[in-house]
Structure 1
Amino acid sequence: MRRRIGHIRDLTALLLRTGLLFAGGPRRLLRQLGTLRRWGTTLGGLVASSAARSPSRPALIDDEGVLTFAELDELAARLAAGLPLHGPRPRVGVLCRNHRGMALTLVACSRRGAEVVLLNTGFGTGQIRAVLGELRPALIVADAEFAPLLSNVPIALRRNVLWADHRPPAGMPLAAPVPLAALPPAPRPDVDAMPRPAVGSGPSIDEIISSEPASDAGPPQIQSRTIMLSSGTTGRPKGARRPPRPGLWPLASMTSRIPLRSRQTMIVEAPLFHTWGYAALQMAWALRAPVVLHRRFDPEQTLRTIASHRDATVFAVPVMCQRILELPPDVRDRYDTSALRIFALSGAALPGDLATRFMDAFGDRLYNVYGSTEASWVSIATPHDLRLDPRTAGRPPRNTALAIVDDDGRKVGRSTRGQIFAANELLFEGYTGGEPMEVRDGLLATGDLGHIDHRGLLFVEGRSDGMVVSGGENILPKDVEDALLKLPEVQEVAVTGVADDEWGQRLAAYIVLRPGTRLDADTVREYVHAQVARYAAPRDVHFIPELPRNATGKVVTRWLSARPGRPLPEGHVEWPRPRAAGL
C-alpha cells in the first residue's frame, strides 16, 4: 500500500513538475493516456501516445530535417510491418550512429515486439563477431559505413541485413542480404515501377517503408526488450537485459534531481547505443519533447545547436564536455548559449576540476549522473553539489537506495571506503551469458569503490578490481590522477597498475600535456610524493599524445601499454581535439 501511494505521489509530482499535464486540451490528454495504457511505456508506446496528443509537434530533428510525432509514428508502424521477422520476440542487432534511421528502427522494433541488441559503433571485427556469435540476432540493421566490418563476419551471423541510411556502394556486397523481392508487394504502381536492387545488396529501411501501406497494427503480444552491452573496458562486453516496460517511475526519479521539462529541446550527443543516450531518448519522448541528433559529435556543432534552440538540454559524455572547453575562446564566443538549461553528463567519472571550469564558462547548468549498464542510475550531482566538490557523484534521486559495504557485507559509516551497492526502479534483469551478479539485501553491486562524506555526497573512487597493491600498500589510481590534474601542464592523465617482480605491482602514469608546455618524470614523481604519498609516486611516467578511448569516451586502461607502431586495438576511437586558433 505504501508503495502504491508513493507511486501516485511521484506520478502527480512528475506531471506537475515537468509540464506534462498542462500542454493540450483534456480530450487529447485522455487520448494520450488511453494510447499509453494500450501500448505501455515502451519506446513505441511513448511515440504512439505522443502522436495521439500532439501529432504536429516536432519529435526528431537531424541533418535530414524534422519529423513530427505523427510522422514518426506512421513511418515506424510501416517499417515494423515490413521487417522480415518471424516468431515471438525475434532478436535484432542495431549498428547505427545517431540519426533518424536508428530512431525509426528502435521504435519499429518496439512496435514489433523484437528484442533489440544495441551494438557499439566502435567495435572491431573480433568484438562484433564475438557479440553476434553469442546473441545470434535474426536481423541486423546497420549504417552503410559498417558494411566492410560486417563483411568480415561469418555469413551465418549476418544472413539478414538491412541498411538504416542507404545501401552501401556496389562492390561492397554482403553474401546473404535480405532481397527486396522477399518483402511484401507494394500497393502503389509507382513503387512497383521502382528498379529492384541486385540480390547482392540488401534494401534500406526507406525502401521497406515505401513498399508498405499505412499500418494500424496493435501492440505485440510479447513486449519488446532491449539488450545493452557493457563498455568492455575491463574485458569482453556483456549483454544486459533491460525490463520491457519501465513505466514512468524512472522518469519521476530522474526529474526529482534534474529539472527536465516538456518544453525543452533535447540535444542527444551521447551515442544511442549507450545506456545514457538511449535513456535520453526515452525521457525526451516521455515528455513529448523534440530530440536533436547528430551522426558524429563536433564540439562547435553542439554550441551552434544550443544557440539555435530555446530551452536547450544536452545529454553527453564527459569527454564531449572536455572537447567543448578546449575550443578556442573566439570560437566559443561566436555562439549565444544563454538558452542552455541543462548539460547532463554520464558514462565516465568527471576528471579533476572539469565541472567547475564548465560551469564558470556556461553557468551552473551541469548535472552528473553516476550509474552503470546494470544499475541504470545510482546518484545525481546537481550544480550545487558540484560547486561544493567537482569530484562528487551527488546524491541518490527518489526511489533509489544506496549503501557502502565492506568486504564482509556490512554497511560502513560516513567517509569510510567500501563497495557501492544500489537499487532503483530500473535494475537490469540479468546477463545474456548467464554471468553471476552480486546482490546483497536487494541491492546490486556496481563494481565500484566509494564513500559517502559527512554532507551525504557520494564519491566514486574507482573500480573495485582496479585497486593497486604495491609493496603491501593499497593505492587507488584515481587519487593520483586527481593530484596530477592540478598541475598546470597536465591536460589529461590516466594511472594504472603494472606487474612488478619486486613489489607485486607498481604505478604507471600516462600523461597528455597541454600544448606548448613541458614536464619531466622526476617532477611528476616528486609532486605525487608531496601531494598523495611516497608509495603512490608512479615509477613509470609516459608522455603520450592522447589517451586511448572507446566509442563512449571512456579511457581503456589495458590499451595504455600498447607499444608504439603496433595496430590500434579493436574498439579504439579517436576523439580529436579542436584545432587551435590560427592553425
Structure 2
Amino acid sequence: MQLAHRASQEAIYASWAFRRGVIGLDPPWVVAQIGAAMWRHGMLGGIPAIAALRHGRDQAAIIDELGTMTYGELNDAVNALANHWKSKGLGPGDGVSILARNHRWFLVATYAAARCGTRIVLLNTDFAGPQIRDVAAREGTDFLVHDDEYGDLLAGVETRLGRLRAWTDDAETGDDTVAGIVARGDTSPAPRAGQDPKVVLLTSGTTGTPKGAPRAEPRSLAPIGALLSKVPFEAKGTMVLPAPMFHTLGFAQALLNGSLGATLVIRRRFDPASVLQDLSEHQATGMVCVPVMLQKMVELGEDAFAEADLSHLTAIFVAGSQLGAELAVRSTALFGPVLHNMYGSTEVAYATIATPEDLGAEPGCVGRPVMGATVVIYDNDANEVPAGTTGRIFVGNDFQFEGYTGGGDKDRINGLMSTGDVGHFDAAGRLFIDGRDDDMIVSGGENVFPGEIEELLFGHDAVREVACIGVADERFGQRLRAFVVLNDGAELTADEVKSYVGSNLARYKTPRDVVFLDELPRNPTGKVLKRKLAELPV
C-alpha cells in the first residue's frame, strides 16, 4: 500500500516536472545520453551536461559580470576542474569548501566538486575570520575555493590538497585560479566518482556559531515537483537571482534553474536599481530574493518601476526570512500579482508556499503546505492544536537534513521536525508565523510575540525597518524594546511609537523602550541579528 502511494506521488511530481520542462519527450538518442550523464555525474553534477543535451550547448546558462556562459561552456568548465581535482587526489568523501559571491566560478566549483563525489561546504561570505576558520576545520576542508577578497580571512585555514582563487579583480588566469584551470584543462567527461556528493549548508548563525546541515542529493523529482506545482518557473526562461548562492534559497534556485535549462542572471553584490534593470533588460521571467532585498527594490518608488519593462515576469519567489503583510501588499502593487512566499528552513527545506491568490486574501500568511510536505502545529505536550491556536510548527518532507555535523538534531515529534517557529493555521488552511519559539517574551505574566509589534510598526509611514526584543526587567521579568529605523526625512518620537502601538494593540504589547538606529544589523540573507541588538548600549 505504501509502495503504491509512493509511486502515485512520484508520478505527480514527474507530471509537474514535465509541465514545466524539466523532463520532456526527448528523442531516444538524447534520452540515452541523459541516462549516461546521470550515471556518470549523478543528479547534481549532471545538471550542466543534461541541460546542454536537452536545450543545446549554445543555450545561455549564466550571465554575470564576465558576460554570458553557455551550457556547453559550463559543462566543459566543470569537466576541466573536476579532472584537475581528481589528478590532485581529490576523491569521494573529501571536503571542498567554497567561499565566494554570486558568479560563474561558484557554480563551476560546485558542480565539479559534485562530480568528484565530495562533501561540498558552502561558507557564508558574512562570517568573521574566526567563524570561517572554525567551520572550515570542523567540516573538513581538503580543497578550498575562494574569492580574492577573502584571502586574508582564510589565512589560517589548513587544507590537505591546496586552494584555488575564484573571482579575481583583474580576471587573472594563473594556475592558482579556477579560470586558469578551466582555460587549459581537460574537458573530456570526468570519470565516475562512484559516490554521491553531499552538500553542507550552514545555519545563519543569528544566535551563535553556525551549524553544518548536510544533505544528500535528491533521489527523486520530489523537491522540484513540489516547488513547480506552486510556482510557474518555466524551461529556458530567465531568472534574476540576487539571493546569495551560499544560502539554501539561492543555492536551490540556482540548481533548479539549471534543471530547467534557464538563464541565470547574477551579480556579485546586490544593488536594487541594478536588479530592476536586469529584470527589464533581460526580459526576466522570474526573480528569487530575500525579503530585505524586495524591500529595497520597493523603496525605489513608482517612477523607477514605470520605466522598467516587467511584462515577462511571471514569478517572484521570496524566502529566507519573514515577508510580512505590509511588504507583500507594497510589492504586489508595484510588480503585479506574481509574488510567491515560501516558508521553510535550512534544516527542514520547504514547508509551505503562499501563492499570489493566498497573499491577495491574507497578505500576512505563508500559504499552504506544498505537495509532499506535512505541517502540524503542536502544543508543549505534543498534542495537535486546532485552527486559530498558536503552537510549535513541525514539518515532514523528503528533503530534510540528516542532523548537524558532529551530532545534534532538531526536536522531532511523530517523525516531524521542528522549525523553531510558532504559528497557527486559519480556517482555510493557510499558515501564519507568529514568531520564534525562543523569541516569545513573558512580560508581567503576558505572552508577547515580537513579530506582531514589528509588523504593526512597519506599516507606519515614518518607519523603514523595525525589530523588537525582550530585555530583563526587575518588575515585569521582561520588557519589550523596539529598535526603529526611520525613512529619510521622517520624524517620530519614542512616545509617538508607544502611542501608535498602544492605540492598535493590547497595552501590554507596547514597547517600554524605543531605540532609533540608522540601520538594523543583518546577515547576508536579510535576517536581523537580534543578539547584536541585545548587545547595543542603551
Structure 1: distance between partners of 2:197 and 2:91: 13
Q: Specify every segment of 5 or more residues in structure 1 that has no aligned partner in the other structure, as ranges.
A: 171-193, 566-583
CA contact (8 A) 1:479 1:532 kept: no
Q: Which has the higher mean CA deviation after the structures are superposed, 211-220 or 376-385? A: 211-220
Q: Give the aligned residue type for 1:139.
A: F
Measured against aligned partners, the alpha-carbon deviations of 1:200-244 in whole angstroms (never above 9, x if no partner) come to xx7101222234223323321111110000001111110001123
Q: What residue is the counterpart of 1:47 in the other structure?
A: 48
Percent identical pairs in the alignment equals 38
Is 2:77 the counterpart of 1:75?
A: yes
What aligned pairs does 1:20-31 form with structure 2 within 5 A after superposition? 20-22=22-24, 25=27, 27-31=29-33
State which of 152, 161, 164 in structure 1 corresponds to 2:163. Answer: 161
Shift of 1:538: 0.7
Task: Indicate which of 298, 303, 306 corresponds to 1:333.
Answer: 306
> How far apart, CA to CA, are the structure 2 residues paired with 1:8 and 1:406?
32
CA contact (8 A) 1:246 1:426 kept: no
Q: 1:132 to 1:390 in 2, by over 3 A?
A: same
Judge conservation of contact 1:263–1:311 (CA < 8 Å) in 2. Answer: no
Q: Map 1:390-539 onto structure 2 (within 5 A).
A: 390-539=363-512
The offset of 1:529, in angstroms, is: 2.1
**8 Å Cα contact 1:40-1:247 kept in structure 2:** no
CA distance in 2, matches of 1:222, 1:38: 10
Question: 1 CA distance for matches of 2:230 and 2:491?
Answer: 42
Quick one: distance in 1 between partners of 2:464 and 2:363? 17
Match of 2:127 in 1: 123
Task: Tell me, yes or no, if structure 1 residue 346 matches structure 2 residue 319.
Answer: yes
Q: TM-score, normalised by structure 2?
A: 0.94
* Distance in 1 between residues matched to 2:238 and 2:358, nearest whole Å: 25
Offset of residue 340 of structure 1: 1.1
Please show how residues 50-449 of structure 1 align to structure 2 within 5 Å: 50-53=51-54, 54-83=56-85, 84-151=88-155, 154=156, 156=158, 160-166=162-168, 203-449=176-422
Tell me, yes or no, if structure 1 residue 32 matches structure 2 residue 34: yes
Rounded to whole Å, the distance in 2 between the matches of 1:266 and 1:246 is 25
Name 2:521's counterpart in structure 1.
Answer: 548
Contact 2:316–2:339 (CA<8 Å) still a contact in 1?
yes
**Does structure 1 retain, via aligned residues, the 8 Å contact 2:205–2:211?**
yes
Q: Kindly tell me: are residues 487 and 210 of structure 1, through their superposed partners in 2, closer, same or farther at Cα, counting changes over 3 Å? A: closer
Contact 1:145 1:168 in 2 (8 A): no
Distance in 2, matches of 1:443 and 1:8, equals 21
Q: Which secondary structure state, in structure 2, belongs to the residue aligned with residue 506 of structure 1? A: strand
Change (3 A) 1:20 1:236: closer
Query: How far apart, in 1, do the equivalents of 2:51 and 2:78 lie?
Result: 14
- C-alpha distance in structure 1 between counterparts of 2:473 and 2:219, whole Å: 47
**Partner of residue 2, structure 1:** 4
Q: CA deviation at 1:74?
A: 1.1
Partner SS for 1:358: helix
User: How much does 1:290 deviate?
Assistant: 1.7
Counterpart amino acid of 2:30?
R
State whether residues 381 and 393 of structure 1, in contact with CA within 8 Å, keep that contact through their aligned partners in structure 2. Answer: yes
C-alpha displacement of 1:86: 3.2
Q: Out of 489-498 and 212-221, give the one that drifted further.
A: 212-221
How much does 1:356 deviate? 0.9
Gaps in structure 2 of 5+ consecutive residues: none
In structure 1, distance between residues paired with 2:403 and 2:432: 26
| Rounded Cα–Cα distance in structure 2 between residues aligned with 1:253 and 1:429 | 20
Q: Note the C-alpha offset of 1:21.
A: 4.8
d(CA) in 1 for partners of 2:90, 2:42: 22
Residues 1:542 and 1:157: Cα distance change in structure 2 (over 3 Å): farther
**SS state of the match for residue 392, structure 2?**
strand
CA distance in 2, matches of 1:21, 1:479: 43
Kept in 1, the 8 Å contact 2:278–2:284? The answer is no
Distance, in Å, in 1 between the alignment partners of 2:70 and 2:32 is: 20
Alpha-carbon distance in 1 for matches of 2:91, 2:488: 57
Q: Deviations over 1:153-202 (max 9, x none)?
A: x25368722101238999xxxxxxxxxxxxxxxxxxxxxxx9xx7xxxx7
Partner of residue 173, structure 1:
none
Distance 2:133 2:284 in 1: 42
Amino acid aligned to 1:165: W
| Offset at residue 557 of structure 1 (A) | 0.8
- Structure-2 change in CA distance of 1:267 and 1:463 (3 Å): same
Provide the residue aligned with 1:183 in structure 2. none
Structure-1 separation of matches of 2:200 and 2:265: 24
Once residues 335 and 121 of structure 1 are traced to their aligned partners in structure 2, the CA distance between those partners, rounded to angstroms, is 31
* Corresponding position of 2:20: 18
Secondary structure of 1:149's aligned partner: coil
Amino acid at match of 1:479: E
Please list the CA deviations of residues 22-66 of structure 1 after superposition, one character each: whole Å capped at 9, or x if unmatched. Answer: 576454344324433553322x11222222222222221212122
Deviation at 1:278, TM superposition (A): 0.6
Q: Is residue 35–residue 52 contact of structure 1 (8 Å, CA) maintained in 2? A: no
Secondary structure at the aligned position of 2:350 is classed as strand
What is the distance in 1 between the residues matched to 2:499 and 2:407?
Answer: 47
Deviation string, structure 1 residues 445-496 (Cα, Å, up to 9, x no partner): 1110000011110001111011011121111001111222232211211011
For residue 263 of structure 1, report the CA deviation from its aligned partner: 3.1
Contact 2:13–2:226 under 8 Å retained in 1: no
SS at match of 1:137: coil
Q: Secondary structure at the residue paired with 1:474?
A: strand
Please identify, of 22-31 and 300-309, the stretch whose mean Cα deviation from structure 2 is larger. 22-31
> How far is the alpha carbon of 1:85 from its aligned partner?
4.1
Letter in 1 for 2:313: L
Q: Which amino acid aligns with 2:288?
A: F
After superposition, the CA RMSD in angstroms is 2.2
Q: Which amino acid aligns with 1:90?
A: D
The 2-side partners of 1:100 and 1:359 are apart by: 31
